[in-house]
Amino acid sequence: MAMQCSSFRFDIQATDGDARSGEFQTGHGAVQTPVFMPVGTQATVKAASPEVLKSLGSRIILSNTYHLHMRPGEKLIASLGGLHTFMGWDRPILTDSGGYQAFSLAKLVKISDEGLAFSSHLDGSRRFLSPEKALEIQEDLGSDIMMCLDECVAYPSTREYVEASVKRTTLWAQRSLAARRSRSALFGIVQGGVYPDLRIRSAREITAEPFDGVAVGGLSVGEGHNLMMDILDVTMPCLPADKPRYLMGVGTPKDIVEAVARGVDMFDCVLPTRNARNGMLFTRNGKITIKQARYREDPNPPDEQCGCYTCRNFSLAYLRHLYVSREILGSVLNTIHNLYFYLELMSDIRHAISEKRFDNLRKQIKEIYDD
**Site residues, its own copies (CB under 8 A):** 42-44, 46-51, 71-72, 76, 79-81, 86-88, 296-297, 299, 309, 313-315, 317-318, 321-322, 324-325, 327-329, 331-333
In whole angstroms, how close is the CB of 293 to its own copies at the nearest point? 12
Q: What's 300's DSSP letter?
A: S
72/63 Cα distance (integer angstroms): 13
Asked if 97 contacts 150 with a C-beta cutoff of 8 angstroms, the reply is: yes
What distance in Å separates the CA atoms of residue 323 and residue 290, rounded to the nearest whole number? Answer: 7
For its own copies, the closer of residues 155 and 309 by Cβ is 309
Paired with 334 in beta bridges are none
Rounded Cα gap, residues 134 and 66, in angstroms = 9
> How many CB atoms are closer than 10 A to CB 214?
23
- CB distance 273 to 47 below 8 Å: yes
Q: Which one from 16, 96, 144, 265 is the annotated catalytic residue? A: 96
Our CB check for its own copies shows the closer of 167 and 321 to be 321
* Alpha-carbon gap, residue 244 to 10, rounded angstroms: 7
Q: How near is the Cβ of 329 to its own copies at its closest, in Å?
A: 4
Q: Which is nearer to its own copies, 79 or 292 (CB)?
A: 79
Residue among 76 and 241 whose Cβ is closer to its own copies: 76
Q: Which is nearer to its own copies, 321 or 351 (CB)?
A: 321
Q: Catalytic: which of 16, 212, 268, 303?
A: 268
Q: Is 231 helix (H, G, I), strand (E, B) or coil?
A: helix
| Nearest distance in Å: CB 331, its own copies | 6
Identity of the residue, 91 or 175, whose beta carbon is nearer to its own copies in the bound complex: 91
* Minimum distance, C-beta of residue 298 to its own copies, in the bound complex (Å): 9
User: Minimal distance in Å, beta carbon 66 to its own copies?
Assistant: 13
Strand partners, 287: 282
CA dist., res. 130 & res. 237, Å (int) = 30
Distance between CA atoms of residues 152 and 190, nearest Å: 10
CB 36 → its own copies: shortest distance, Å? Answer: 20
Rounded Cα gap, residues 210 and 172, in angstroms: 14
Distance from C-alpha of 236 to C-alpha of 262, rounded to nearest angstrom: 7
Return phi, psi of residue 153, to 5°.
-80, 155
Q: Quick one: 298 or 344, whose CB is closer to its own copies?
A: 298
Cα gap 301→313, rounded to integer Å? 8
Least Å distance between CB 339 and its own copies?
14
Instruction: Provide CB contacts within 8 A for 203, sequence distance 6+.
Output: 190, 192, 214, 235, 238, 239
Q: Is 96 a catalytic residue?
A: yes
Catalytic residues: 96, 268
